[in-house]
Amino acid sequence: MCITAESLGSVELEDFMRQKLPDLLRERGEFRYEIMGILADVFASKDDLKQVLEEIRKLREDSNRRFGEMDQRFEEVNRTMNQRFEEVNRMMNQRFEEVNRRFEEMDTRFEVMYRSQREVRLEVSALGGRIGYGLEEIIRQTVEEFSGQSFKKFEHLRLRDSEGELYGIPADVEYDLYLEDSVNYVVEVKSHIKPGDVLIFHRKSLFAEKQLLKRIKPIMISASITKDAKKKCKELGIDLISRSVVD
């Protein structure tokens, strides 16, 4: 019976080749070399595999080297940018500090000018014997700066002395300014203060306490004051704001 490859199924053909192929390879050298050539074309040899692996290793090393160089470049770029940003930031800080310093100097100058203007207006007011609303505001600011308080209520104050307690006859008693807060003030503004002025104002402040039923702190503001008047203010507990002391 003649058996051909066409007459066998795939499974039967595989079984047949397993049985016959080893004998054929041993017995027929030409056939064996032919099969080896076919297998060599299909499967890589050990040397080929080594070569492929070596090429892969070199490719990986080259990639790592290039990535390392790129990392170094990025680090250099990052370092350069950081240095530039730091330099720009330093320059900006210097400029801002300079601008702030100039603004502070301007604020100081304006504050000095404002205080000088306020003092001049107070002196002019005292010389003329007139206290208006605008000057009441200046007096309030002066007392606030002196006392460290803030006064929401302040007004020109007039109290009636019906019994003539101060002047011997009934009269209106006027105060240049009355300021009300945790500590209440009555203010007297004069161009020049003498001891007699201090004594009169002391009596006026006591009268205000009696009439208002409140603790009153007297304060006098002037362009100048005598040494004796200043001493008398201290003795009587009268606060004083004065530009100069004269004999």
Same-domain pairing of 78 and 145: no
Beta-strand pair 239-246/216-226 = parallel
172-231 pLDDT, tens digit each: 999 999 999 989 999 999 889 999 999 999 999 999 999 999 999 999 998 899 999 999
* pLDDT at position 115: 58
Phi and psi based region of residue 164 (left: phi greater than 0; alpha: psi -120 to 50; beta: remaining): left
In angstroms, the CA 12 to CA 18 distance is: 10
Same-domain pairing of 52 and 103: yes
Same-domain pairing of 28 and 88: no
Range of the domain at 120: 44-128
Question: Residue 1 — very low, low, confident or very high, per pLDDT cuts 50/70/90?
Answer: low
109-118 pLDDT, tens digit each: 656 555 555 5
CA atoms 90, 96, 102, 107: torsion sign: negative
Q: How many domains does the chain have?
A: 3
Tokens of 136: 């009441």
Q: Is the pLDDT of residue 237 over 70?
A: yes
In angstroms, the CA 111 to CA 29 distance is: 116
69-105 pLDDT, tens digit each: 888 888 888 888 888 888 888 888 888 788 787 777 7
Question: Residue 123 — very low, low, confident or very high, per pLDDT cuts 50/70/90?
Answer: low
Q: Is the pLDDT of residue 46 over 60?
A: yes
Give DSSP secondary structure letters for 97-150.
HHHHHHHHHHHHHHHHHHHHHHHHHHHHHHHHT---HHHHHHHHHHHHHHH---
Task: Choose the final residue of a domain: 106, 128, 150.
Answer: 128
* pLDDT at position 110: 55
Same-domain pairing of 114 and 136: no
